[in-house]
Amino acid sequence: MSYLAHSVKSVPTGFSRVLHLNWPIILLLSAIASVGFLMLYSVAGGSMTPWAEPQMKRFALGLFVMFSVAMIPVWFLRNIAGLAYLISVGLLVAVEFVGATGMGAQRWIDLGFMRLQPSELMKITLIMFLAAYYDWLPVKKVSHPFWVILPLILIVIPVYLVLRQPDLGTALLLVFGGGGLMFIAGVSWLYFATVIGAGVGLVTAVFQSRGTDWQLLKDYQYRRIDTFLDPASDPLGAGYHITQSKIALGSGGWTGRGYMQGTQSRLNFLPEKHTDFIFTTLAEEFGFVGGLSLLGLYVLVLIFCIASALSNKDRFASLMTMGIALTFFLFFAVNMSMVMGLAPVVGVPLPLVSYGGSAMLVLLLAFGLVQSAHVHRPR
Amino acid sequence: MRRPPKDTEESVKLITRRSLVLGTGMTAFAGVLGLRMRHLQVDQADQFRLLAEENRINIRLLPPARGEIFDRNGLLIAGNEQNYRVVMVRDEVDDPDKVLEDLSNLIPLSPDDIARVKQELAKRSRLVPVTIADRLTWEDLSQVAVNAPALPGITPEFGLSRAYPRLDDYAHVIGYVGPVSDYDLSKIDDKDPLLQIPKFQIGKTGAEAKLERDLRGKAGTKRVEVNAYGRVMRELGRDESTKGSDVQLTVDTRLQNFVQARLAGESAAVVVIDVNNGDLLSIGSAPAFDPNLFVRGISVADYNGLTQNKYRPLANKAVQGAYPPGSTYKMVTALAALEMGVVGPEETVWCGGHTEVAGRRFHCWKRGGHGHMNLRESIKYSCDLYYYELAQRVGVEKMSEMARKLGLGERHDIPMSAVSKGLIPTKAWKRANRGEDWVIGDSLNAAIGQGFVLATPLQLAVMTARIATGRSVKPRLINAIAGEEFPSSAGEPLGISTSALNQARGGMIAVSNERRGTAYSTRIAEDAFRMAGKTGTSQVRNITKAERARGVFRNADLPWERRDHALFVGYAPFDKPKYAVSVVVEHGGGGSTAAAPIARDVILAAQYGGVPPLAAYPESQHGRISTALEELNLRDPADTPPKGTRA
């Protein structure tokens, strides 16, 4: 059901839009970000520098971005979705040529005042563009093969570019985010069943062929897969991080070792303790209670987003909100799975908590989109 | 512009349905995350807490102070010395070259030292402390400590190091310690974690090695918190180490120093034993070495100097060296014969200079012979022919039985390295080891302590003590460990008749106190301290017929290696024995000229408790003796222990 089917008059305008923001989500995001400030202060050994203070400034900037975006009418966002997608892809291509290398991968462009990671932006613009696509596509055609291949191409292009960097974490998020959006939009179960079936079949074939005459991959490639899937097989390399991470989590117990008392993080046993592995510090210092509380906050954000999406009768707004909720979910789910040893280490930050400018700004920008969809929903 | 609505109810329903499915899926996955969290943080919490503690807590060993060794009067023989050193941790320095240069202005550092330090810094982990200078003086260390702020990464350290204040006096008795080596670890079955500490000092030879378990002490532990890179953040707690047990020996430092000084220039050994309880008062072996050299790590030049010296300074001749006892063995033969009753005290044997036995000619050392000899005279003049006769009457088995009774052929239980068993031959021994039958000639040689018979100076001293007391005196080197006294005893009666013993003793008294006795020239003039003894001269070569014909067996004409060993055993005072002494001078020539003077000086020093007065010597010898005694390079044992020189 589209926007114009409803009374435009009931959509708030001007300053009154602020009152119609989805305030619970803003409060939840602020709470999560505050947990981040607390933990960044702790991992710096009780210091605002080098992480907590910049993070606060970025959050403030991000809130401003979110409010600004929230004021933009959602139909305008839909109209520029294609452009945004093109710009993002363009930036990803640009990163190939002028990108700086950080952490062994080409990821950001130095804009002077900030480092832009186009791959972060891509996660959002892909969702926007797919939402716009399905908003435009009549429901009857959604499962038509031609109209399925088109969005697949839209997904594959940025995934390919991101993998070249190489940034496996972002690539996964793009695939699952885009795929998830296609699912919400109503693409037939059969496609998903086929893809999943084919994936399982391929993986099985790859592993079954190992050691036989028709072995599909080279031996060293198998060994890499082994290490990737089971870091414990490489205890001093990839396994070291995950082992130390689990020790930190486990030693937290029910209520944790106390704020700034976590030995694993304080004594540097934890890797990347201010970025991807920040959750381990939280879990070590605040225990099961602390970890579960943060997880609860994330789930609440999800629920409010889903509620907002479901109550929104505009298809684009609804799809975009769901897509962003899914992306947000993928962030924390992949990150937590990773630090808890459920998934391989792929380098996905904990949303709003991990130190990092681009991710935080882009996430808040995304929630600006959610807010815009919420504020300008048809009534 | 917006197109008109084209799908309504159906579309909304589909999106709502799919959104709910996905939302449920996401929430469910969050639930899984929660369960996983619970599994790690609640179910496995204890296990992970333990791992976290293992991560952060390191146990460091605190080496104990080594037990000290004292002499019978409580004078320090082996102690521990503060060792000041300076170490550098590479990780804490930005510019090690500059710091080393600054440091070399404060403490003596040669360019070689600096090169070595740089090499080690490059080789070792950045966190491992590298020793820059060792054995610094307190002044040097203070210099470093005061300037510490200008010397990043430099830490002054204190440690204990073994020190032997008596320098070479006790080299062979105490031995020395040195850093534990891979070879040591492979050889000993010892799980003590202390041995894993790099450069931990353990006893290598002598009492230091034999009493290692008592001396070592128990390690303490220090629990420190370390970060992921192994750097120590703080100390969490410590259990102090327990010092090793102090050991008191029976030796007398004043006498030991006298003995070593008296042996200067010789290749010789001396043992002084208290005949009433077996206390070893002195165990001398010359030349000796300074054990402190080994503690610090001996230089190749010094070590080669020790191993290539033909006098073998590293050999502990007193307990390790087995020599043919020569005529000092004659008491054994005499006692065996007396106990068997095959010879009477006044029964004489004719010595014509040589005798024929089983087709071979056996000579007395005196070419013209001694004439009629009874037992007392045979000892006094050391007549060989008398003992050739006794040998045929007694037989080797009975002689050897008596030798064992007197402590020969037995490895005495004292905590020193390579204590030799010597050799007291029997027919069975020869058959087993030489594959030949015992012949009568072997018995004749054995009767005068030649041939197969071998004895150590320690065994000869024990033998003498047993003859002097008639009891099975056992040598005793440890007086007490950790204040706990070791039992001492006068020994059980040997079961040798007093009359037989008195016959042998009478001969020995005659040797040192009667005109023409072989050691009369080294008699003691002081009545209360007179000595009974026996000389010995043992051949290390066979005298060929041609040599005998030419008369070439003057020792002075031979190269050192081929000269006879000079021996002497004795005890004093002869009427109320207190001390027994044995002396072996390797290739010294004659027992009466080379060994007996040493024995006299030593046993006088034992009785006087220091350098003997001239009055103890015959008047005619005063001039020579006073010069000799003055020339002795003695140390005053009461002096504060001399500090070892800096290596």
* Alpha-carbon gap: B21 to the closest alpha carbon of chain A (Å): 9
CATH topology of domain B60-249: Penicillin-binding protein 2a (Domain 2) (3.90.1310)
Determine the 3-state secondary structure of B140 from DSSP.
helix
* Alpha-carbon gap: B54 to the closest alpha carbon of chain A (Å): 10
Residue-wise pLDDT for B386-414, tens only, equals 999 999 999 999 999 999 999 999 999 99
Listed range (A99-113, B241-255, B282-296, B546-560) with the worst mean pLDDT: A99-113
Residue-wise pLDDT for B532-543, tens only, equals 999 999 988 666
Contact B45 A336 (CB under 8 A): no
Residue-wise pLDDT for B3-29, tens only, equals 445 456 777 788 889 999 999 999 999
pLDDT band, residue B547 (cuts 50/70/90): low
pLDDT band, residue A356 (cuts 50/70/90): confident
| Residue in the structure block whose two tokens are 């006794």 | B390
Length of chain B: 647
Q: DSSP character for B265?
A: T
* Amino acid present at B448: I
CA distance B18 to A182: 10
* Alpha-carbon gap: A312 to the closest alpha carbon of chain B (Å): 10
CA distance B351 to B385: 6
pLDDT score, position A284 = 92
* Alpha-carbon gap: A340 to the closest alpha carbon of chain B (Å): 7
Share the mean pLDDT of chain B: 88
B27 interaction partners in chain A (CB closer than 8 Å): 299, 302-303
Which residue in A138, A306, A337 is closest to B6 by CB distance?
Answer: A138
* Alpha-carbon gap: B42 to the closest alpha carbon of chain A (Å): 5
pLDDT score, position B548 = 59
Q: Does A184 touch chain B (CB under 8 A)?
A: yes
Alpha helices in B231-329 (DSSP H): 253-262, 291-296, 300-307
CA angle B175, B177, B181 (to 5 degrees): 125
Name the A residues in 314-343 with CB < 8 Å from any B CB.
315, 318-319, 322, 325-326, 329, 333, 336-337, 340, 342
Would the pLDDT of B1 be above 50?
Answer: no
When pLDDT is averaged across residues B125-134 and rounded to a whole number, the result is 74
Asked if ipTM goes beyond 0.95, one says no
Contact B228 A319 (CB under 8 A): no
pLDDT score, position A159 = 94
Residue-wise pLDDT for B205-243, tens only, equals 999 999 999 999 988 888 888 777 767 777 888 888 899
Interface contacts (A, B; CB < 8 Å): 156
CA distance A273 to B398: 88
Would the pLDDT of A167 be above 90?
Answer: no
Q: Which residue of A has its CA nearest to B14?
A: A186
What's B253-631's CATH class?
alpha beta
Residue-wise pLDDT for B160-206, tens only, equals 889 999 989 999 999 999 888 878 888 777 778 788 776 788 999 99
A75 interaction partners in chain B (CB closer than 8 Å): 2
Selected residue with higher pLDDT from B240 and A178: A178
pLDDT score, position B191 = 75
Selected residue with higher pLDDT from B643 and A261: A261
Would the pLDDT of B89 be above 80?
Answer: no
CA distance B422 to B329: 13
* Residue A167: C-alpha distances to residues A59, A119, A273 (Å): 24, 9, 19
Selected residue with higher pLDDT from B156 and B479: B479
Q: What percent of chain A has pLDDT over 90?
A: 49
CA distance A205 to A222: 13
Highest average pLDDT, of A363-372, B549-558, B628-637, comes from A363-372
Would the pLDDT of A6 be above 80?
Answer: no
* Domain boundaries of chain B, sorted by first residue: 60-249, 253-631
pLDDT band, residue B261 (cuts 50/70/90): very high
Q: Does A307 touch chain B (CB under 8 A)?
A: no
**Other Cβ atoms within 10 Å of B565 Cβ, number:** 26
Would the pLDDT of B116 be above 90?
Answer: no
Residue-wise pLDDT for B417-460, tens only, equals 889 999 999 999 999 999 999 999 999 999 999 999 999 999 99
Q: Does A298 touch chain B (CB under 8 A)?
A: yes
Determine the 3-state secondary structure of B345 from DSSP.
coil
Residue-wise pLDDT for B147-163, tens only, equals 877 888 787 877 888 99
Contact B22 A298 (CB under 8 A): no
* Amino acid present at A222: Y
When pLDDT is averaged across residues B45-60 and rounded to a whole number, the result is 84
B48 interaction partners in chain A (CB closer than 8 Å): 246-251
Question: Which residue, among A133, A135, A184, would best test binding to B if mutated, counting the most B CBs under 10 Å from its CB?
Answer: A184
pLDDT score, position B3 = 47
Contact B48 A184 (CB under 8 A): no
pLDDT score, position A163 = 86
- CA dihedral for B96, B97, B102, B105, sign (positive or negative): positive
Strands (E), A57-104: 100-102
Name the A residues in 66-105 with CB < 8 Å from any B CB.
75
Q: In terms of Cα–Cα distance, which of A123, A127, A125, A140 is closest to A181?
A: A127
pLDDT score, position B400 = 95
Would the pLDDT of A123 be above 90?
Answer: yes
pLDDT band, residue B647 (cuts 50/70/90): very low
Contact A310 B38 (CB under 8 A): no
Listed range (A236-250, B474-488, B629-643) with the worst mean pLDDT: B629-643
Listed range (A78-87, A218-227, B475-484, B498-507) with the worst mean pLDDT: A218-227
* Amino acid present at B418: A
Would the pLDDT of A4 be above 60?
Answer: no
Mark whether B472 is an active-site residue: no
A292 phi, psi to nearest 5 deg: -65, -35
Q: Which residue of A has its CA nearest to B9?
A: A1
When pLDDT is averaged across residues B130-137 and rounded to a whole number, the result is 80
B227 interaction partners in chain A (CB closer than 8 Å): 267-269
* Residue A212: C-alpha distances to residues A23, A198, A217 (Å): 59, 21, 11
CA angle A335, A285, B28 (to 5 degrees): 40
Q: Does A183 touch chain B (CB under 8 A)?
A: yes
Name the A residues in 11-70 with CB < 8 Å from any B CB.
none
CA distance B69 to B485: 14
Determine the 3-state secondary structure of B35 from DSSP.
helix
B11 interaction partners in chain A (CB closer than 8 Å): 1, 139, 186, 315
Q: DSSP character for A213?
A: T
* Alpha-carbon gap: B57 to the closest alpha carbon of chain A (Å): 10
pLDDT band, residue A321 (cuts 50/70/90): very high
Residue-wise pLDDT for B330-350, tens only, equals 999 999 999 999 998 889 999
pLDDT score, position B221 = 83
**Helix or strand (DSSP H, E) at B557:** none
Question: Which residue, among A173, A251, A298, A327, would best test binding to B if mutated, counting the most B CBs under 10 Å from its CB?
Answer: A251
pLDDT score, position B83 = 82
Selected residue with higher pLDDT from A103 and B610: B610
> How would you classify the pairing of strands B478-481 and B484-485?
antiparallel
Q: In terms of Cα–Cα distance, which of B155, B152, B151, B146 is closest to B84?
A: B155
Q: What percent of chain B has pLDDT over 90?
A: 60
pLDDT score, position A105 = 52
Which residue in A4, A298, A322 is closest to B2 by CB distance?
Answer: A4
Question: Which residue, among A263, A298, A313, A377, would best test binding to B if mutated, counting the most B CBs under 10 Å from its CB?
Answer: A263
pLDDT band, residue A139 (cuts 50/70/90): confident
Would the pLDDT of B640 be above 70?
Answer: no
* Alpha-carbon gap: A141 to the closest alpha carbon of chain B (Å): 11
Which residue in B4, B6, B38 is closest to A288 by CB distance?
Answer: B38
pLDDT band, residue A3 (cuts 50/70/90): very low
Share the mean pLDDT of chain A: 87
Contact A292 B34 (CB under 8 A): yes
For residue A45, count CB atoms less than 10 angstroms from its CB and return exposed for 0-12, middle for 13-18, buried for 19 or more: exposed
* Alpha-carbon gap: B40 to the closest alpha carbon of chain A (Å): 5
* Residue B436: C-alpha distances to residues A320, B358, B430, B432 (Å): 110, 17, 6, 8
From B285, B327, B400, B582, the catalytic residue: B327
pLDDT score, position B8 = 62
What's CA B481's distance to the chain center, in Å? 17
Would the pLDDT of A106 be above 70?
Answer: no
When pLDDT is averaged across residues B318-325 and rounded to a whole number, the result is 94
Would the pLDDT of A351 be above 90?
Answer: yes
Contact B15 A75 (CB under 8 A): no
Determine the 3-state secondary structure of B480 from DSSP.
strand
Contact B51 A247 (CB under 8 A): yes
